[in-house]
Amino acid sequence: MARTTYQDLLDAGVHFGHLTRKWDPKMSQYIFMERNGIHIIDLNKTLTKVEEAAAAIKQIVKSGRKVLFVATKKQAKDIVAEYAKGVNMPFVTERWLGGMLTNFATVRKSIKKMSNIDKLTKDGTYSNLSKKERLMIQRERIKLESLLGGIADLNRLPAALFLIDVKKEHIAVSEALKLNIPTFAMVDTNSDPSNIDFPIPANDDATKSISLVTGIIIKAIEEGLDERKREKEDEAEKEAAAAKAKADTAKTEAPAAPAAAGTPAEGGKRKRVAEVAAEAEAPAAPAAEKTEE
């Protein structure tokens, strides 16, 4: 079943590109025509590309890995943050910090610092500080939360990136390229799709367009998570059945218990019977000859 239709894309305005003078020649393969000085994206190619991207991202999530959502432009940040939270995926919607991927160890230290501030508030240490110190810590916590709150649970590098507006997120794209992390992105007519592994030609400025395409990717992620959960449950059931079968086999193949020895009285009785039988079978002794008087 198709994840979306041509009409859905048309209604969301996915086909509207940028002004012809702002186009990137590398996007020519995805452009259908030009109308009133604006490029029109070929929605047939958009349909194909979004299906490919959704299928690939589903397999990544099914394997138990994370996809990092990146959208710092005003139209996309709230939409992407809401969608990513719904499937428990990391996201960056405020500002892409240089080295967020290539210098991930340092970023993890900042995240740890944020968690340490949370510990201070829980164990009561925060209330013992002066008003000025509390204010400074609070400001730092707010700043860290806005920049790194979306990746607080990201303990290792993501398996893939999903980006809105390749041109704006060029630093994230270059870092992913260096680390060989696959990228999925909405690519408009003013962007270069050559560095993106799974480009989705689409209008990356309209909220309806962003919501539709991101929603398709989120549904694919949900499918991957559901399949992973079912596979784990099936595997657990198989292991339980195998363990039960093994226990039943061991029980049936166990050696029979040796017959209990008789009581001492019975043993003595059997011995006497054997002795009597032996005497009965023995030949009679010859009679002694009488002496002559």
The pLDDT value recorded for residue 272 is 56
The pLDDT value recorded for residue 158 is 94
The pLDDT value recorded for residue 284 is 46
The pLDDT value recorded for residue 120 is 80
Q: What is the model's pTM?
A: 0.78
3-state DSSP of the chain: CCCCCHHHHHHCCCCEEEEHHHCCHHHHHHEEEEECCEEEECHHHHHHHHHHHHHHHHHHHHCCCCEEEECCCHHHHHHHHHHHHHCCCCEECCCCCCCCCCCHHHHHHHHHHHHHHHHHHHHCCHHHCCHHHHHHHHHHHHHHHHHHHHHCCCCCCCCEEEEECCCCCHHHHHHHHHCCCCEEEEECCCCCCCCCCEEEECCCCCHHHHHHHHHHHHHHHHHHHHHHHHHHHHHHHHHHHHHHHHHHHHHHCCCCCCCCCCCHHHHHHHHHHHHHHHHHHCCCCCCCCCCCC
The pLDDT value recorded for residue 128 is 78
Each of the 293 residues of the chain gets a pLDDT tens digit; together they read 468 888 999 999 999 999 999 898 999 999 998 989 999 999 999 999 999 999 999 999 999 999 999 999 999 999 999 999 999 999 999 889 888 999 999 998 888 888 888 888 777 777 778 888 888 888 888 888 888 889 988 889 999 999 999 999 999 999 999 999 999 999 999 999 999 999 999 999 999 999 999 999 999 999 999 999 998 888 888 888 888 888 888 778 766 555 444 445 555 555 554 554 555 555 544 444 444 43
The pLDDT value recorded for residue 256 is 53
The pLDDT value recorded for residue 288 is 42
- List Cα–Cα distances, 241 to 48, 52, 244, in angstroms: 43, 38, 5
